[in-house]
Amino acid sequence: MSILVVGSVAFDDIATPSGRRQNVLGGAATYFALAASYFTDVRVVAVVGEDFSAEHEDVLKKRGVDTRGLQRSKGKTFRWGGQYLDNLNEAKTEFTELNVFEKFQPQIPDEYLNSPFLFLANIDPTLQAAVRLEMNGARLTGGDTMNYWIQSTPKELAETLKLVNILLINDAETKMLGGDRSLPRAARKVLALGPQALVVKHGEYGATIFFREGAFGIGSHPFRAPALPIEEVQDPTGAGDSFAGGFMGYLASQDELNREVLKRALFYGGVMGSFAVERFGTERLQTLTRNEIDARFQLFRELTHLG
């Protein structure tokens, strides 16, 4: 079934121990869409500027992503610069130019309104809520957020969280949002805010999914999918969004939502995140095959399962 992602498209300047790149096509919606495209039909709503060319759009189109929801505005596309020279696990932002993203008002094309799956990438929670309410037939909604919204718009975020089925954030965001230094306790407090499930992304260590009691009829035991360390992380940008794309894309490809499907989705999330970081920007996500993806899935399984 198809999935709609609403989020950012950006051009990034990136410096890592492996090198530097400028004007790399990025943004959460881009990484998410490419990762999810290996599992299901993807539709994207985002805003781009006049510097976004047909070749840029082709990166998405070549993966079959429906780009009719790309809104073109006067001005430049959102730009971000960051470096990971001291720490591959955390970006140091060097500049942020919101440009056309500053006035982003998501417009959902009519043809997208029937999308059974929805992913609200990391944007203003007020916009996330508006999109979710417009997409009121969505069967399952995933969402992301960040420390900025947790701290500056807590009330708006609380309203959005009531509309999200599965929230995907990292360890630090979970502890901040739950207001607790214990991850399991923080997770429980986040689940009390609305979501039925919370996926906590641990970077190179994989991810854990926590469930609200009774959610999806599958009990409340968490599940952890370990990733495996990558030989050469060239560029960590977009790893979390690629994880979300693999996770949500796999869910959207399945007829049923049960514990086993959610577990496999968590593994596929880790798989897509691990591919994303092997090259700068979305390079690796543009040319994968489903065979490569499933081979890495099997590898992750073999290298973490007892006999």
Question: Which residues of the shown chain bind a copy of itself in the complex (CB under 8 A)?
Answer: 17, 88, 181-185, 202, 204-206, 208, 221-226, 228-233, 260, 263-264, 267, 301-307
Nearest approach, Cβ of residue 241 and a copy of itself (Å): 21
Q: Which is nearer to a copy of itself, 114 or 298 (CB)?
A: 298
Measure Cα distances from 108 to 44, 127, 132 in Å.
9, 12, 10
Nearest approach, Cβ of residue 276 and a copy of itself (Å): 16
| CA–CA separation, 6 and 28 (whole Å) | 9
Q: Which is nearer to a copy of itself, 255 or 302 (CB)?
A: 302
Q: Which is nearer to a copy of itself, 55 or 86 (CB)?
A: 86
Nearest approach, Cβ of residue 167 and a copy of itself (Å): 17
Measure Cα distances from 78 to 73, 98, 128, 155 in Å.
11, 5, 18, 26
Q: Which is nearer to a copy of itself, 137 or 184 (CB)?
A: 184
3-class SS shares of the chain: helix, strand, coil, % to 5: 40, 25, 35
DSSP label of 106: -
Chain-centre distance of CA 153, in angstroms?
20
DSSP label of 277: T
User: In this structure, what token pair is assigned to residue 164?
Assistant: 């999200």
Question: Do the Cβ atoms of 48 and 100 come closer than 8 Å?
Answer: yes
Nearest approach, Cβ of residue 182 and a copy of itself (Å): 6
Q: Which is nearer to a copy of itself, 232 or 255 (CB)?
A: 232
Nearest approach, Cβ of residue 163 and a copy of itself (Å): 27
User: In this structure, what token pair is assigned to residue 173?
Assistant: 């965001």
User: In this structure, what token pair is assigned to residue 243?
Assistant: 């994880």
Q: Which is nearer to a copy of itself, 43 or 201 (CB)?
A: 201
User: In this structure, what token pair is assigned to residue 5?
Assistant: 């992602």
In the Cβ-directed half-sphere of 23, how many Cα atoms lie within 13 Å?
A: 5
Residue closest to 149 by CA, chosen among 138, 140, 158, 141: 158
Q: Which is nearer to a copy of itself, 62 or 301 (CB)?
A: 301
Nearest approach, Cβ of residue 298 and a copy of itself (Å): 11
3-class SS of residue 7: coil
Nearest approach, Cβ of residue 260 and a copy of itself (Å): 5
Q: Which is nearer to a copy of itself, 74 or 221 (CB)?
A: 221
Please, is 194 exposed, middle or buried when counting C-beta atoms within 10 Å of its C-beta (0-12, 13-18, 19+)?
middle
3-class SS of residue 244: helix
Nearest approach, Cβ of residue 35 and a copy of itself (Å): 20
